[in-house]
């Protein structure tokens, strides 16, 4: 369809704020523990096809931690990322308490080295819906190469203008 008289009224700019830390040890104690749980969670990954193991640890408002890891399948699209495994498990186990404070994510490559795992688009969409439900931010804490850490203060910073219904 041809839109007539279409013109740009004004360029807009989006600024995304996030934090980076030089080391996991700079995080506060609860986030440090969460990242440690994500590292442990990666042990549960089933990733024979990619060889890339991902661990995720989700902290609920009451301090409960629910973990997830990537689960692959020979029918590739049937597998699931660590982040969605964790958040879906939490939602299924505590449907009366969908109150999520922070999610830590870490990858482990085929050589066994810890590395960055940034949530994929589908995971961002899923996380975004739970964040909308709870009306407060869900922080996302990503491990980076060399032990640094990136903290997104909310899922909105990872997926602005997300689809809502
Ligand atoms: N993967 C995750 O579990 N989370 C991410 O943030 C990125 C990718 C998984 C999917 C697949 O099993 C493997 O990593 C390689 O893409």
Among protein residues, the one whose CA lies closest to atom 6 of ligand 1: 119
Rounded alpha-carbon distances, angstroms, from residue 60 to 6, 38, 66, 151: 46, 14, 8, 17
Per-block mean pLDDT, blocks of 10 residues, the chain (165 long): 66 95 97 98 98 98 98 98 98 98 98 96 97 96 96 97 85
Tell me what pLDDT residue 1 has.
Answer: 54
Does the reported pTM lie above 0.85? yes
Work out which ligand 1 atom sits closest to the CA atom of 81: 3
CA of 21 to the centre of ligand 1 (A): 23
Tell me what pLDDT residue 10 has.
Answer: 86
Tell me what pLDDT residue 164 has.
Answer: 80
127 in Cβ contact with 87 (< 8 Å): yes
Tell me what pLDDT residue 9 has.
Answer: 78
Tell me what pLDDT residue 147 has.
Answer: 94
């Amino acid at each position: 369809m041809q839109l007539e008289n279409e013109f740009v009224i004004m360029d807009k700019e989006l600024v995304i704020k996030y934090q980076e830390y030089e080391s996991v040890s700079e995080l506060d104690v609860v986030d440090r523990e969460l990242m440690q749980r994500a590292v442990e969670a990666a042990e549960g990954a089933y990733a024979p096809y990619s060889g890339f193991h991902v661990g995720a640890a989700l902290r609920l408002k009451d301090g409960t931690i629910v973990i997830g890891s990537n689960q692959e399948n020979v029918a590739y699209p049937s597998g699931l990322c660590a982040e969605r495994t964790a958040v879906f498990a939490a939602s299924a186990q505590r449907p009366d308490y969908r109150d999520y404070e922070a999610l830590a994510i870490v990858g482990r490559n085929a050589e066994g080295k810890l590395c960055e795992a940034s949530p994929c688009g589908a995971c961002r969409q899923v996380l975004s819906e739970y964040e909308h439900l709870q009306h407060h931010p869900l922080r996302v804490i990503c491990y980076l190469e060399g032990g640094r850490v990136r903290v997104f203060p909310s899922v909105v910073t990872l997926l602005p203008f997300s689809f809502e219904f």
